Amino acid sequence: MPFVQRPYTTLYYESHGAGAPIVFAHGAGGNTLIWWQQVPFFARTQAVLTFDHRGFGRSQCAQGHFHAREFAADLFAILDHAGIERAALVCQSMGGWTGLRAAITRPERVACLVLSGTPGGVVTPAVVEAFQRIGRIAAGEGIRATPALAPDFPAHEPELTHLYDRIAGLNPGLAPEALATLGEARVEPAELEGYAVPTLMVAGERDQLFPPAALKDAAARIPGCRVVDFAGAGHSPYFEAAPRFNRIVADFVAEQGAA
């Protein structure tokens, strides 16, 4: 079980399979375990790396030192420790802040980027409105499956909904103000000038946290970003409809020569 030390932080990651590297960055309701439907699929042909963001899962973070602006540096520390020079990145929700910032600051290390249910730090009026709604949800009921899935998913898939909640329950728990640092780690328009990392945005048709309109608004600010409309799914297509999500990601990664 590899751990990486950074100031005020101990980061956990794990590796599976062999081949071209692909890295998965989870959202606020996840940790390494949330990718249980992706790891076996991609590890058949690629080296798969999953990790716990600081303050999640088995990654520890000293009080007062959780901030989204550290996410990309955390990722590069993990990649260095694992001996990975360049990788495809797949980022869900909060993980988008890790991936897009990494692609901006060290594009030579990012073969391609998939942003699922996340603006990745790009701020638009529609994204601000979504943030306000997320803040109210987090303050009221915390990080749970219900808002992170399509509205009817819990009724149709109670077992998977329970699993999502149990995985999220393994996280130590962060105060809403800690997650508010996502708003402070914004990507400014000038930072995207000359951006050339192949990027795909996956937008869940029934996303209750970042609606498709907000995601498409953000995608329009990312040069060359393509958008896939994911019919029927909510905020977590990777969890709700894994086979379809996996194929979309695999095809995109292969298209970029990163498989």
Domain layout of the chain by residue ranges = 3-255
Confidence tier at 157 by pLDDT (50, 70, 90): very high
State pTM to two decimals. 0.95
- What's domain 3-255's architecture? 3-Layer(aba) Sandwich (3.40)
Question: pLDDT for 232-251, tens place per residue?
Answer: 999 999 999 999 999 999 99
Annotate 165-187 with b (16+ C-beta within 10 A) or e (fewer): bebbeebeebeeebbebbeebbb
pLDDT of residue 129: 87
Confidence tier at 160 by pLDDT (50, 70, 90): very high
CA distance 169 to 92: 18
Closest among 194, 203, 198 to 253, alpha carbons compared: 198
Token digits for 47?
A: 């080296």
pLDDT at 141 over 70: no
Percent of the chain beyond pLDDT 70?
Answer: 95
- As a whole number, mean pLDDT of residues 58-62 equals 93
DSSP 234: -
pLDDT of residue 138: 64
- As a whole number, mean pLDDT of residues 64-84 equals 95
Helix pair 212-219, 125-141: axis angle to 10 deg: 130
Beta bridge partners of 228: 202
